[in-house]
């Protein structure tokens, strides 16, 4: 399912429950971006509720800062004044009015297909010497994400089937896509998320994935079907991510990074 197909179902409040954990990777991504940039604006591509905006403003004071996202629900949660311009636009069709000095995309581009075409397209928008800095989860083979698809396919086989190929390729394939475009650095990091017990008793991993990885499934279920799905998903998660005595669980989470200078 494409990103545009689930925009109506984004829950900014649920997403922001884990704002600190989701912000840590963009801090690491920015640590590989130099302070000196060519002329041009800085674009937060897929800005969501604006978590990365203050970091970008601090790093690049005086730059025109543009936040862009295709979800009106997410943009409604952006604090006023973070961005100079805030655009509601489809990332897949977006074309900048001015060549950016930096396009930063944190945990968004895995929703878009055909990275072999997408990344050269984004790089082609950059000013000479500009940078494309990207972070994407590569968690799709892990139980947190795999069990979403397996549970949906088991309960609703007429609508769902397990994914054949993950949406994010291994790092060596991303390196091969980006290397002809300029100087590139690609790496991966695995984070250990310690997730607190939930107030409603649902599995903590489900609380984390509900606002992201589970959206393509949830968007196709009615309220009763969602309840069945959540019960089965919780049970499957508990076999892999066993809660401690205080209800917390530990979830390893892998993310892929790339910084390209054109």
Tokens of 248: 């917390």
The answer to whether residue 97 is domain-embedded is yes
Strands (E), 119-205: 131-137, 183-195
The answer to whether residue 104 is domain-embedded is yes
The answer to whether residue 51 is domain-embedded is yes
CA trace torsion 151, 235, 210, 252 (10° rounding): -100
Pairwise CA distance, residues 232 & 236, whole Å? 6
The answer to whether residue 214 is domain-embedded is no
The answer to whether residue 89 is domain-embedded is yes
Q: In total, how many domains does the chain have?
A: 1
The pLDDT score that the predictor gives to residue 19 is 65
Domain containing 30 equals 10-137
The pLDDT score that the predictor gives to residue 5 is 47
On whether the CB atoms of residues 203 and 248 are closer than 8 A, the answer is: no
Q: Across the strands, what pairs with 135?
A: 106, 257
Cα of 231 vs its chain's centroid, Å: 25
Tokens of 181: 């475009």
CB atoms within 10 A of CB 241: 19
The answer to whether residue 88 is domain-embedded is yes
Q: Across the strands, what pairs with 133?
A: 104, 259
The answer to whether residue 193 is domain-embedded is no
The pLDDT score that the predictor gives to residue 256 is 98
Q: pLDDT digit of tens for each residue in the chain (262 aa)?
A: 344 444 444 454 444 455 677 789 999 999 999 999 999 999 999 999 999 999 999 999 999 999 999 988 889 989 989 999 999 999 999 999 999 999 999 999 999 999 999 999 999 999 999 999 999 999 999 999 999 999 999 999 999 987 778 899 999 999 999 999 999 999 999 999 999 999 999 999 999 999 889 999 999 999 999 999 999 999 999 999 999 999 999 999 999 999 999 9
The pLDDT score that the predictor gives to residue 157 is 96
Pairwise CA distance, residues 70 & 191, whole Å? 27
The pLDDT score that the predictor gives to residue 23 is 87
Residue among 25, 22, 76, 85 at smallest CA distance from 49 = 76
With a CB cutoff of 8 Å and minimum separation 6, the contacts of 218 are 9, 210, 226, 229
Is residue 124 exposed (0-12), middle (13-18) or buried (19+ Cβ within 10 Å)?
Answer: exposed
The pLDDT score that the predictor gives to residue 6 is 43
Q: Which residue has the tokens 């086989």?
A: 157
Instruction: Enter the DSSP assignment of 41.
Output: -
Pairwise CA distance, residues 223 & 225, whole Å? 6
Pairwise CA distance, residues 174 & 169, whole Å? 7
Tokens of 205: 């991993």
Pairwise CA distance, residues 236 & 219, whole Å? 21
Where residue 126 sits, what CATH number does that domain have?
3.40.50.150
CA trace torsion 198, 199, 200, 206 (10° rounding): -20
The answer to whether residue 207 is domain-embedded is no
């Amino acid at each position: 399912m494409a990103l545009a197909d689930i925009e109506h179902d984004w829950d900014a409040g649920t997403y922001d429950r884990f704002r600190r954990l989701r912000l840590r990777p963009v801090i690491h991504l920015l640590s590989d971006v130099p302070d000196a940039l060519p002329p041009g604006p800085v674009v937060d591509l897929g800005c969501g509720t604006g978590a990365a905006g203050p970091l970008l403003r601090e790093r690049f004071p005086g730059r025109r800062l543009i936040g862009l996202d295709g979800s009106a629900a997410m943009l409604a949660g952006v604090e006023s004044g973070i961005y100079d311009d805030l655009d509601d636009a489809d990332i897949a069709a977006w074309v900048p009015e001015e060549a950016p000095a930096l396009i930063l995309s944190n945990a968004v581009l895995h929703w878009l297909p055909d990275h072999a075409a997408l990344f050269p397209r984004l790089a082609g928008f950059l000013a000479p010497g500009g940078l494309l800095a990207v972070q994407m989860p590569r968690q799709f083979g892990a139980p947190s994400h795999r069990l979403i698809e397996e549970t949906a396919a088991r309960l609703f086989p007429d609508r769902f089937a397990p994914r054949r190929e993950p949406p994010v390729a291994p790092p060596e394939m991303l390196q091969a896509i980006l290397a002809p475009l300029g100087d590139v650095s690609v790496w991966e990091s695995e984070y250990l998320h310690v997730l607190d017990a939930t107030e409603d008793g649902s599995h903590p991993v489900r609380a984390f994935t509900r606002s992201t990885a589970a959206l393509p499934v949830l968007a196709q279920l009615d309220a009763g079907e969602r309840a069945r799905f959540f019960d089965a998903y919780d049970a499957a998660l508990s076999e892999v991510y066993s809660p401690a005595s205080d209800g917390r669980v530990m979830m390893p989470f892998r993310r892929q990074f790339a910084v390209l200078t054109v």
